Chains A and B, each alone.
Chain A
Amino acid sequence: MRIITGLVTVGMLSLGLPLQAADSGFNLETVNPEADRLALQAFYKKRYPDVKIEDYVNGIYALDAESHEQWQEIEEFPPYEFSIEEGEVLFNAPFANGKTYADCFENGGIGIRQNFPYWDKEDGTVKTLEYAINECREDNGDKPLKWGKGDIARISAYMAWTSRDNVFEIQIPQDDSRALQAYLDGKKFFYTKRGQLNLSCANCHLQGSNIRIRADLPGPMLGQVTHWPVFRSKWGNLGTLHRRYAGCHRDSRSKPLKPQAEGFRNLEYFQTYMSNGLVVNGPGARK
Chain B
Amino acid sequence: MIRLGVPSKGRLMEQTFDWFADRGVRLSRAGSDREYAGRVEGVDGVQLVLLSAGEIPRELAAGRIELGVTGTDLVREKLAGWSSDLVELAPMGFGHADLILAVPECWRDCTDLDDFAAIARDFRAEHGFRLRIATKYHRLVRAWLSAHEVADYQLVDSQGATEGTVANMTAEAIADITSSGETLRANNLRILNEPPILRSQATLFANRAAMGPAMDALIARLAAPEAGRSA
A, B: real partners: no
Q: B: which residues have CB within 8 A of A?
A: none
**What is A's interface to B at a CB cutoff of 8 Å?**
none
